[in-house]
Amino acid sequence: MMYKIPSSGTNTINLYPASINTLKGIKWGYIDNRARIMINPSYDSALDFQDNGLAIVRKNNLYGIINSWGGYVVEPKYTSISEFSEGRAIVINDKGFKVIDEKGKEITHKNYNYISDFKEGRAQYSMVYSKDQYLYGYLDKLGREIIPAKYQYASDFNKGKAVVKIKPYDYELIGINGESLNKYNYASVGSLSDGLMAFQKNTGGKFGFIDEKGNVVIEPKFSSVQPFMESRSVVNISDLENIINQYGLIDENGSYAIRPKYNYIMLLGEHRVAVGKSIEKDKPYIGSKYGIGDTEGNLFTDFIYYGISNYDHGFASAYDDKNTFFIDKRGAKVEKLPIISGIGVLTIKNGLIKAEVDYRISYYDKQGRLIWRQNEVIPLNSNIKVIEKKYKPNKDYLVYYPQIIGMLDKIEERKVNQALKKLSQIKPVQGNIQLDYNYLGNFTIEFFKKHLLVLKLEGYNYQLGAAHGMPSRVYPHVDLVKGRFYELKDLFKKYSDYVKVISDIIGNQIKNYPEYSYVFPDTYQGIKWNQPFYVSEDALYIYFYPYDIAPYAAGFPTFKIPYKDIMNIIDTQGDFWRSFNKR
């Protein structure tokens, strides 16, 4: 059977974001379909070109927009930029949300608390009404407040209609200019989709569906529901006390197309569904293995996939515990298209196949030949290189870790590499079992000068079912001549009280610098003798782990201490200092 690669969208910009691993970290640019670099890799991140010929890029932690020639339409100055929708994008800076057009011009003249993407010429916006309450209204494409902010809740427009909340137990269906079309006196009413809206009669009650006139079409009997799509809704009937999910699929009359007995169900478009059974029956939070079926309830495959994307032109991306590949509408693996080792998603971009697999992006042609992938060798100088290695013993355990080649002392090189593997959490992990956690490790080069290499090793351990995972971070300071790993104490004179000196400096920063106002009151008690740190050319950086002195959301609180402020206690004749400074 011959498979035709469909074209995705109308975008004719045949440029693709591609990354290069450098001494200054991962840099992104754009290649063409022959892997030629067309826009130099100078960005910290880069997104696909959109149908309007524009792409969002990030530089120095700020976002901008470029055209297909690499010229800035918007200089990097925003903390966030959304994809364009209906010729408009939402941008955020330190003052709030704004709307820009495709020329980068700000068309709103206020700073809003929130602006949604445009749908049918309207975008929701919110303004502060009181200390703890926001009110919502709608902007038009000229940035005007076409419907004032007077609603406690607002949804996207769908075929010229949207659901809004006036006050508790008072919802309305409004038209495109805010005119009232109907009222509903229920505890909650969801957005309009396929002519139906989810609703609850009472707070905390079951969900059902009403039509635009307010008629109850499907009685409330579900613990959760999803909006209708292709005349189907995913519902769950399990109670809060019951950890076992019971997902099913209903039609517009409330009849089951798929009985409610599954761990999860996903609507995939093109009248296809993914039906999931628990990987472990008594631990549904671990996830599902999916089979492919249609919206009539016919299952075509066994439960063999761990992840599936939406269908597009008859194909979906799927993965098992080893590989990522395309499947057809019967759920069968498409053997004539690329099968990529690892877990992720494949998409078709103007004839090329983009593989976002195992947290790396690569490209393949129609015949499955590799076009581009990020380099795995980072030269430090003419002799020494850092090699990126991959360790994946289990589908839920993945580490990219550094290994050094080119040191003169090969014995020390082996010792260094063994230490780096240990610090990167390279350890025995069984491959044929289901872990109750997910671990991802990665590294970048933080600093290199003379013969000191500072690596940043990062990890993220997520206990499946938890609210969030726990990140880790460590900076090995490797002397590439001596094979030595330096510690904080090695930077200072032997009898200096560096702990007190640095503790006092950080204490003063916390007390006097407003950017450290997030630190828990009375939590900071100074640093430890082996406090986590890293060095740069001009400063020492001291950091703390999440929850040490600040909330989880603060990440790793980091304090910069210029060398000039502590020069009197630095051991300028010591190996550490001399490893990256002139003798």
Q: Mind listing the pLDDT tens digit for each residue in 140-153?
A: 999 999 999 999 99
Instruction: Inform me whether the pLDDT recorded for 562 exceeds 80.
Output: yes
- Say which residues have a Cβ less than 8 Å from residue 533's Cβ, sequence separation at least 6: 475, 488, 540, 541, 542, 543
How many angstroms separate the CA atoms of 449 and 537, rounded?
8
Residue 346 lies in a domain: no
Distance from C-alpha of 346 to C-alpha of 201, rounded to nearest angstrom: 42
In a domain, 444, yes or no: yes
pLDDT tens by residue, 485-497: 999 999 999 999 9
List b or e across 525-541, with b for residues whose CB sees 16 or more CB atoms inside 10 angstroms.
eebeeebbbbbeeeebe
Cα 155 from Cα 165, distance rounded (Å): 9
Supply the CATH number for residue 399's domain.
Answer: 3.30.565.40
Average pLDDT over residues 427-456: 96
pLDDT score, position 398: 98
Question: What pLDDT score was predicted for residue 351?
Answer: 82
Can you spell out the DSSP letters for 498-524? HHHHHHHHHHHHHHH-GGGTTSPTTT-
DSSP string, 371-405: EEE--SEEESSSS-EEEEEEEEEETTEEEEEEEEE
Among 78-92, 240-254, 258-272, 409-423, the minimum mean pLDDT is found in 240-254
- The pLDDT of residue 9 is 44
pLDDT digits (tens, 9 = 90+) for 344-402: 999 998 889 999 999 999 999 888 899 999 999 999 999 999 999 999 999 999 999 99
Tokens of 535: 């060095």
Within 13 Å, how many C-alpha atoms sit on residue 453's CB side?
28
- Percentage above 90 pLDDT, the chain: 92
Domain that holds residue 523: 377-580
**What does the chain come to in residues?**
583
Check residue 273 and give its pLDDT: 98
Q: Are strands 370-373 and 216-222 parallel, antiparallel or unpaired?
A: unpaired
Q: What is the mean pLDDT of residues 407-421?
A: 97
Instruction: Please give the pLDDT value at position 1.
Output: 36
Residue 13: pLDDT band with limits 50, 70, 90 = confident
Q: How many domains does the chain have?
A: 1
User: Does 497 map to a domain?
Assistant: yes
The residues pairing with 323 across neighbouring beta strands, listed in sequence order, are 341
Over 80: is that where the pLDDT of 7 sits? no
Tell me, what's the pLDDT at 240?
Answer: 67
Q: Is the pLDDT of residue 6 over 60?
A: no
Q: What one-letter code names the amino acid at 13?
A: I
Percent of residues, the chain, with pLDDT higher than 70: 97
Half-sphere exposure of 12 (CA within 13 A, CB side): 0
Give the pLDDT score at 400: 98
Q: Give the mean pLDDT of 401-408.
A: 98
**Is it the case that residue 422 has pLDDT exceeding 70?**
yes
Mean pLDDT of the region 111-124: 97
Give residue 151's pLDDT: 97
Q: Is 427 part of any domain?
A: yes
104 occurs within a structural domain: no
In whole angstroms, what is the distance from residue 170 CA to residue 307 CA? 40
What number is the average pLDDT over the span 475-484? Answer: 98
Residue 429 placed within a domain: yes
| Residue 2 confidence (pLDDT) | 37
| pLDDT at site 8 | 45
- What pLDDT was estimated at residue 540? 98
Query: Is 455 part of any domain?
Result: yes
The mean of the pLDDT values for the chain is 95
Q: What Å distances lie between residue 187 and 89, 137, 238, 291, CA to CA?
A: 33, 21, 21, 36
| pLDDT per position as a tens digit, 151-162 | 999 999 999 999
DSSP-derived 3-state class of residue 552 = helix
List residues bridging with 173 in a β-sheet. 163, 182
pLDDT band at 111 (very low <50, low <70, confident <90, very high): very high
Reported in sequence order, the residue ranges of 104-215 that DSSP labels E, i.e. its strands, are 114-115, 123-130, 133-139, 145-151, 153-154, 162-167, 170-174, 180-184, 188-189, 196-200, 207-211
Within a domain: 472: yes
Question: How many angstroms separate the CA atoms of 161 and 175, rounded?
Answer: 5
